[in-house]
Structure 1
Amino acid sequence: MTLFILNPELDDPTTTRADALVVLASAPERFQEAERIMGMGLIPTVVYSVVPRARINTASECQPRSTYRVLCISPDPVTTQGEAIALGDLARQEGWDSVAVLTFDAHVTRSKVHVTRCFPGEVKMMAMDRPVAPRLRFREVTHELAGLMKASAGWGCSDMLPDWTQRPIDILKSTP
């Protein structure tokens, strides 16, 4: 299972065409990678997931660009599932048939589970490596395994498990 999380199947950003590039868990390095991908001209729209508690200024990222369209979503709840729900709603409004999803490497597998539940079209996954110390990598993989187990307990896009199921994941996240 760990190998599945650390080495997910990915699509090549240099050849991937989609109706939109969706950037999950937005962070400065993912904004930069999204800019690089959008510069290739294969995808007409970028969607940034903007969370209120983020410690980054996303206002500049949500500004219009001359060469492609920029949209920002604010997921509710502020989780991967919330991002997938917001993406599914937006995709229906926009009439999209395909999306490319950009996130960090260990987050790909769980993200794809949620996005494919909420978006019936073609889902292509892209990832950024992020340098993580071995101790933190263990925590990250543990978090993703717990999140994947939680995701596996639900069947539909917006199926919410009881709030108490989040507590063990929060404990794993805060473990040094």
Structure 2
Amino acid sequence: MPPTATPFRRHLKHVTVAVLAVVVLWLLVATQLFYNVHTPTPQKAEAVVMLGGASKERLLEALLLRDELDAPYLVLSNTGTPGNASADDYCDTHSNKAIYPDVICFTPDPMNTRGEADAIGLLATERGWKSLAVVTSKYHIARSERLLNQCTPSKIQMVATDPDLSPKQWLRRFVIETGGLLTVFLSPECNSPIR
């Protein structure tokens, strides 16, 4: 005679199925938000902005985009972190404002996307920029676009770069970006555009 399932085992089975369903649903949503990201080509921008981190992937795209759009300014987040080394080096070699008045490097405070959104909002206000093209990794588009729109009235045009990540690294990014996106909605950086 086969053993009958105890109420505890039935409950455990239902909980397990529910948890698996939530995980699968989250993976599907995260894939759409952070992996299957397509951004339209910007039409015009007064500045091309590169957010910090992954500069090996982002800097070249920002430089090419600036040439393509003939944007007057290149704005780089200067973080002093290993992942931003090429952008930080570019800032070091282009720091003479008399020679390179069109290159603006800033150090975000705090050293995260929220700090970048604040700094970019201030720059856009000070310089009267109406349109910005912002380059970042595709997994970072949803969160950074939301933060930037909270902190500046400028038109934000996001440009996604395609990082070379392993499945494990993508899963890690999904977790990080999901948490980050939730905090952007629960605790906005700027209640409305601050400028």
Q: Fold match, TM over 0.5? A: yes
Which residue, out of 67, 76, 79, partners 1:39? Answer: 67
The unaligned stretches of length 5 or more in structure 2 are: 1-28
More moved, 85-94 vs 35-44: 35-44
When you count helix as a share of all residues, which structure comes out higher? 2
Instruction: Write out the 4+ residue segments of structure 1 that deviate beyond 6 Å after TM superposition.
Output: 64-68
The yes-or-no answer on 1:60 pairing with 2:90 is yes
> In structure 1, how many angstroms separate the alpha carbons of the residues matched to 2:110 and 2:103?
22
1:101-148 CA deviation, whole Å, 9 max, x = no partner?
100010000000100000112110001001110111011111100100
Per-residue deviation at 1:11? 2.3
8 A contact 2:58–2:136 mirrored in 1: yes
- Residues 79 and 92 of structure 1: is their aligned pair in 2 closer, same or farther, counting only changes over 3 Å? same
1:153 corresponds in structure 2 to 186
More moved, 81-90 vs 53-62: 53-62
Largest Rg, 1 or 2: 2
The yes-or-no answer on 1:8 pairing with 2:8 is no
> In structure 1, how many angstroms separate the alpha carbons of the residues matched to 2:141 and 2:129?
21
8 A contact 1:31–1:61 mirrored in 2: no
The yes-or-no answer on 1:136 pairing with 2:169 is yes
Question: Aligned residues, how many?
Answer: 157
Amino acid at match of 1:91: A
8 A contact 1:49–1:72 mirrored in 2: yes
TM-score by length of 2: 0.72
The unaligned stretches of length 5 or more in structure 1 are: 160-176
8 A contact 1:19–1:43 mirrored in 2: yes
Amino acid at match of 2:44: R
Amino acid at match of 1:23: M
Q: Secondary structure at the match of 1:40?
A: helix
2:51 corresponds in structure 1 to 24
Q: Secondary structure at the match of 1:52?
A: coil
Identical residues among aligned pairs (%): 29
Q: Secondary structure at the match of 2:133?
A: strand
Which residue, out of 95, 105, 108, partners 2:128? Answer: 95
8 A contact 1:75–1:82 mirrored in 2: yes
